Amino acid sequence: MKIFKFGGASVKDAESVKNVSMVLKSQGFTKCLLVISAMGKTTNELEKVVELYFKKDNYQTEIEKIKRKHIEIAEGLFPENHPVFAEINLFFDDIDSFLRRNKSPNYNFVYDQVVSCGEMISTKIVSEYLNEIQFTNQWLDSRDYIKTDNSYREGVVNWTKTEEFIKTLNPEVCYVTQGFIGSDDNNFTVTLGREGSDYSAAIFAYCLNAEAMTIWKDVPGVMTGDPRKFEDVTLLSNISYEEAIEMAYYGASVIHPKTLQPLQQKNIPFYVKSFVDPTKEGTKVGISDKNQSEESYILKENQTLLKISTRDFSFIAEDHMSLIFGYLSKYKIKVSLMQNSAISLALCLEDKFNHADELNDELQKVFKTEMIKNVSLFTVRNAKKENIDKFYQERSVLMEQISKNTLQMVTQ
């Protein structure tokens, strides 16, 4: 089977959904599984619903707005009395019904039950449209196949159960399913982390021993830098799994960090291609003698720099490190870069759930700390020695680290 993943931008309106069918036509619509994200900015809009709900504000108006958008998209794709309109209404009734009867104060649990509906609705619309134009497919609820623990908003996949369920799929059939979501042992929805649809596609690819996996983006492929942030960037036509994993880890937004390892395990080729022009080659990630190691630039914004030192000038020892990383785990804060000396530790942190202040409060009971928010982590992969000096120009550098072929700096 082939796995195709389409993100929110590729299904943002009726014309975009029609374009998906053109992409599929160019690729051949046989033996494939489509993983589809929520339409356009629906995830952001549903996040606002959750925020309003916890503020005890009028979230119903926001739900109605989102529903109206989806109805309008469907009106551009289906005849007036098509059953999909009833399905769309039902999904939004379910959101409202869940919030009315919910008793859980757990923000992350409520978030997952509500925000996941974006994927459910978008896949139903795309699946029904493809069937309407004779691209025969079956709609799947990915929560019946991807099983996780109950770490809401950051689900950990139970690979044994997941593989067991996914292997029951018929490889001769075409399927449409959701990215980003799975379910726990109690069948509650669990999301796999923001932008986790690529990871969902990789999970299906791994479990189905897929021939290849392609994600369709509004860019030509993996570039040497985000063209919105850097000048004179070029397309990387071939890169290794290792290079792609490093780029994703350092913050390259085109690839979700967890996507690559399942594909590398089974040597499944991974393509990043443009849904604007599906005939272009894009980027191939895999084993190849054509793999490139070009100088590449990655800017990871909205980071927090935390400097930690002991109060008595003793060394930062293993017991200190254990305590610090225990708190990082507790608050689900990820380390993007770390640097330690005998008496201090500096951490560049990604704080997706806004717990940095709580972490800092805990650490100040034992350590001296200094916290600087809204910094950026700038990474140069395969840095050329002759270029290094220019990267320091016009940058206020708070921390830096140079390894064999990677330059990293935390800047304000």
The number of beta carbons lying within 10 Å of the beta carbon of residue 136 is 11
Q: So what's the pLDDT on residue 389? A: 85
Q: How far is C-alpha 256 from the geometric centre of its chain's CA atoms?
A: 5
Report how far residue 112's alpha carbon sits from residue 190's, in angstroms, rounded to the nearest whole number.
6
**Token code pair at residue 379:** 């990474």
pLDDT in tens, 183-206: 999 999 999 987 789 999 999 999
Residues 207 and 201 sit within 8 Å (Cβ to Cβ): no
Distances in whole angstroms, Cα of residue 327 to Cα of each of 39, 99, 330, 333, 355: 36, 31, 5, 9, 10
The number of beta carbons lying within 10 Å of the beta carbon of residue 269 is 17
pLDDT of residue 355 exceeding 90, the answer is yes
pLDDT in tens, 260-295: 999 999 999 999 999 999 999 999 999 988 889 899
Q: In the 8-state DSSP scheme, what is residue 149?
A: -
pLDDT band per the 50, 70, 90 thresholds, residue 405:
confident
**pLDDT (mean) for 111-131:** 98
pLDDT in tens, 305-317: 999 999 887 888 8
Q: Packing angle between helix 356-363 and helix 318-330, nearest 10 degrees?
A: 150
Write b or e for each residue in 81-92: b if 16 or more Cβ atoms lie within 10 A of its Cβ, otherwise e.
eeebbebbeeeb
Report how far residue 285's alpha carbon sits from residue 238's, in angstroms, rounded to the nearest whole number.
6
DSSP per position, 256-290:
-TTSHHHHHHTT--EEEEESS-TTS--EEESS-TT
**pLDDT (mean) for 333-344:** 92
**pLDDT (mean) for 27-49:** 95
Q: So what's the pLDDT on residue 336? A: 94
Report how far residue 184's alpha carbon sits from residue 149's, in angstroms, rounded to the nearest whole number.
5
**pLDDT (mean) for 245-258:** 84
**pLDDT (mean) for 318-340:** 94
Q: So what's the pLDDT on residue 385? A: 81
Residues linked to residue 4 through DSSP beta bridges, in sequence order = 34, 214
**Token code pair at residue 285:** 């990630």
Q: So what's the pLDDT on residue 195? A: 75
CA dihedral 349, 353, 357, 363 (to 10 degrees): -60
pLDDT in tens, 67-119: 999 999 999 999 999 999 999 999 999 999 999 999 999 999 999 999 999 99
Q: So what's the pLDDT on residue 356? A: 97
